[in-house]
């Protein structure tokens, strides 16, 4: 491990939340501003902003101001291979817990 446990913890913690995962998911195909993310996810604006902030701090999304709106985009370079890795892992080791809570 190259970095501190705290840093890894922060990274993984950012991904261990269904709402943040959903936000990442709606950003997969196109860049969206906060309002659009709210529409797609049916989440409240403040909640989305809080979660976007955390995702951005961890480098999982980027943002760019365009007029009054701020557009968010997925860090595909990290998120795509990450998801791929986990999909493969789950396909092998986690079949038993698909659909479970714990």
Partner DNA sequence: TTCATATATGAAATAAGCATCATATGATAT
Partner DNA sequence: ATATCATATGATGCTTATTTCATATATGAA
Q: What is the contact surface with a copy of itself in residues (CB under 8 A)?
A: 1-13, 15-18, 21-22, 25, 28, 54, 57-59, 75, 77-78, 81-83, 85-87, 89-94, 96-102
Q: How far apart are CA 98 and CA 100, in angstroms?
A: 6
Nearer to DNA, 27 or 52 (CB): 52
DSSP string, 74-102: E-HHHHHHHHHHHHHHHHHH-GGGTT---
Residue 23 tokens read as 């936000």
- The binder of 39, among a copy of itself, DNA, none, by C-beta within 5 to 8 A per type, is none
- Binding to DNA (CB under 7 A): which residues in 29-68? 33-35, 43-54, 63, 65, 67-68
């Amino acid at each position: 491990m190259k970095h501190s446990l705290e840093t890894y913890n922060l990274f993984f913690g950012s991904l261990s939340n269904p709402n943040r995962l959903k936000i990442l998911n709606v950003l997969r195909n196109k860049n969206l501003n906060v309002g659009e993310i709210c529409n797609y996810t049916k989440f409240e604006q403040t909640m989305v902003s809080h979660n976007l902030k955390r995702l951005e701090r961890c480098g999982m999304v980027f943002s760019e101001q365009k007029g009054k709106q701020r557009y968010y985009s997925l860090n595909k370079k990290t998120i795509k291979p990450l998801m791929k890795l986990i999909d493969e892992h789950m396909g092998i080791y986690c079949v038993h817990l698909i659909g479970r809570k714990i």
